[in-house]
Each structure stands twice: as structure tokens, then as C-alpha cells.
Amino acid sequence: MSLDSLIANTIRQDVRSDHIYHVPDASGFVKLDAMENPYVLPSHLHLELANRIASVALNRYPVASYDTIKQRIRAKLGVPQGYDVMLGNGSDELIAIMAQACALQPAEGRRAVMMAPAPSFVMFQRSAMVAGMDFVGVPLKADLTLDLPAMLAAIGQHQPALVFLAYPNNPTGNLFDAGDIEKVINALGDKGLCVVDEAYEPFAQQSFMGRLPEFPNLIVMRTLSKLGLAGIRLGYMSCAPALLEQFDKIRPPYNVNVLTQAAAEFCLDHLDVLNEQAALLRQQRGELSAKLAKLPGVNVFPSAANFILIRVPNADQVHSKLLERKVLIKNVGRMHNVLANCLRITVSTPEENAIMLDGLTAALAS
């Protein structure tokens, strides 16, 4: 039996042609490539969390309703009265669930379409592929803003079932105009759903969550990862109750484990600590942006996230020089032509920001 023939006969061609999502090993590096919060919980909270985790019944499945964690999210994170949330193993699982729910079966006559600006979060397109949806990326303008006429034209042409708008956008960091997003939502009408991905809401301080009752076709998705809990992998989404019920049919019954639930509940009980850390990072973002703008040949783009996008004369060379200094940032220059020679830098502590700035200065001068 030939293993190559076996794979060819059993695995979908588009999966065979794709590649594994690569996460580089960051051991020993100043890690500024993944938009993580660099701050840890205070020591006294570490001990309390350890005691909370120690009491978790690992021999039991999670309570399938997840009522306690969902109640905390609704109460503390701005979910409108009368609206519930659905939890996911990170926001990646929520994207996949929405894609699976909206992908039309072959008997229904055509493949469903997912649409998003390009470039945007890579998991939108990957989830569309896995679910069997067609993906349409609508290029951003040269200044990285949303091309509203092109988006509206593409909606009219392709009739997408799902449109994802990251707010702020990743990897560009900018907030699209709220009025433009409203026009996209209204253009979809009852033919499509608009998902506003607010992964970076703690740093943007702007949200569509409170506006869910205005738009029956609006879904707001967030994650606790950027708030400082990337390791526990918890995302959540909210939308009209009848719509949320449909997505909940796709969700696996025990998709959030008991350790994640316990850690999230504890941290949400101490949300003020995480919000203080986000405020520190917003301050560092402004200071770091100003310092980057003073470097020769560096163009700094506006950011409402916890990362900054810059353009340099030779991104590949600069990235390599930083790697030699054990500083890991993200080279996004090949993701899309509007990102030519662009680098994405996570905002970190003053100490790590200074190490990165020293390395970047040296790389630009070499």
C-alpha cells in the first residue's frame, strides 16, 4: 500500500495543497510577535489562583451550560441586557463554528461565500477553506483604510453569508470608520451576517457590543487572549438570541475545559488588574510610536491595538538582524502587496521595548 496514494485518495485536495500554520519557537527571544500581554498577575493573586485551580474536579466533565463564566462575561464585559454569549476554545474555534454553520451543502446549489478585507486575520480565510466556503478578500486602500465602495460592490456581486471585520484590524492595527461598518451591516440585510471581531477592544476602547440590538445580523466576537489570558484560550461571541442558538448547535458540548473556566472566572473577578495592565500598554503604545517615528526611514501607522505596524526600507534584512539579536517581531511584508516592507511589533514593557528599539536602530544603520 502506498502512503502517498492513500493520502491522495482520502484527504481533500485543498487541504493537501495547504500548509500547517507555523508558530516559530520563541525560546530565548524577546517575544514581540504575537500580541501577548507581557505582564503577569501580582504574586498574591498567583497564590489565590493556584488554590482555585487545585480545587477543580479534573475527573468530571465541565458543566455544559457554562453558566458561571457566562454570567461573569455578561456582567463585566458590556454584553447587552437579554443577550447571551457562546464560548469557544479561543476565537479561532468561534470563527470555525460560524463558517461551518453558514457553509451551504452542495445540494443547495452553490458554495457559500465568506468575505473580509485583505489583509486581515489569517484565520478567516483558513476557516473558510476548511468549512468548504469560498473566500473573497477585498483589498484595503493604500493607506490601509477600508475601501467601502469596493466592499459594497463585492457584497452585491458575491452575496456573502459571512463578512468579517476586525475592529481594530490585524495586522494593520487601525480602526475602520464606524459609519463604514454600519453601511456594510446594512448592505448585507437579511442575506448575510457581519462579524465584528473585537479581539483588541481593551486597547481600542471602542466597541459595537452595545449596538447588537440595533442590527439583527450583527455578531460581536472577542477573546480574553489580548487582555492577558492568551494561555487559557477563551473566546466569546454574542448576537441575537435566536441566531446564537443556531451556532450553539455546532459547538462541541465540552469545548471549554474546567481549568480554563476556573482561571477565567478568577481573573474576571479581578478584572481591574487586567484593565490596569491594558492601560499601561496603551500608554506604552503612544510612547513607542513616537520613538519609532524618529528613526530614519521608518513609517509608523496609527494603531488602536497592542501592536504597531511600521514600514522600513528593507523589512527582510531588518527582521533578520533583529533575529540575530534574539528579538522576535512579525515580518508581514509578504502577506499582501499593501504591506510591502512592513513589520508588526507587539507593544511590551518599557524594558523590552527599549531592547527592540536598540536592535531596530542598529539594523536600520547596517
Give the pLDDT score at 14.
Answer: 85
| Distance, C-alpha 7 to centroid of its chain | 32
User: Residue 121: which of 178, 86, 179, 168 has the closest Cα?
Assistant: 168
Q: Per-residue confidence of the chain (366 residues) as pLDDT tens digits?
A: 789 888 888 888 888 888 888 787 888 999 999 999 999 999 999 999 999 999 999 999 999 899 999 999 999 999 999 999 999 999 999 999 999 999 976 656 678 999 999 999 999 999 999 999 999 999 999 999 999 999 999 999 999 999 999 999 999 999 999 999 999 999 999 999 999 999 999 999 999 999 999 999 999 999 999 989 999 999 999 999 999 999 999 999 999 999 999 999 999 999 999 999 999 999 999 999 999 999 999 999 999 999 999 999 999 999 999 999 999 999 999 999 999 999 999 999 999 999 999 999 999 998
Give the pLDDT score at 107.
Answer: 58
Q: Is the dihedral of CA 58, 64, 67, 70 positive or negative?
A: positive
**CATH code that applies to domain 62-269:** 3.40.640.10
Q: Which residue carries 492601560 as its cell?
A: 279
Rounded CA separation 180/163 (Å): 13
C-alpha separations of 26 from 176, 228, 344, 347 in Å: 32, 18, 16, 16
Does the structural domain 10-41+272-365 have CATH classification 3.90.1150.10?
yes
CATH 3.40.640.10 residue window(s) in the chain? 62-269
Rounded CA separation 252/259 (Å): 17
Give the pLDDT score at 22.
Answer: 79
| Element at 218 (helix H, strand E) | strand 218-223
The grid coordinates of residue 71 equal 454570567
Give the pLDDT score at 105.
Answer: 64
The grid coordinates of residue 281 equal 500598554
Q: Are 105 and 112 in contact (CB under 8 A)?
A: no
Give the pLDDT score at 347.
Answer: 98
Query: Mapping DSSP to helix (H, G, I), strand (E, B) and coil, where does residue 103 land?
Result: coil
Tell me the DSSP string of 19-84: --------TTSEE-SS----PPPPHHHHHHHHHHHHTS-TTSPPPTT-HHHHHHHHHHTTPPTT--
CATH 3.90.1150.10 residue window(s) in the chain? 10-41+272-365
DSSP tag of 114: E
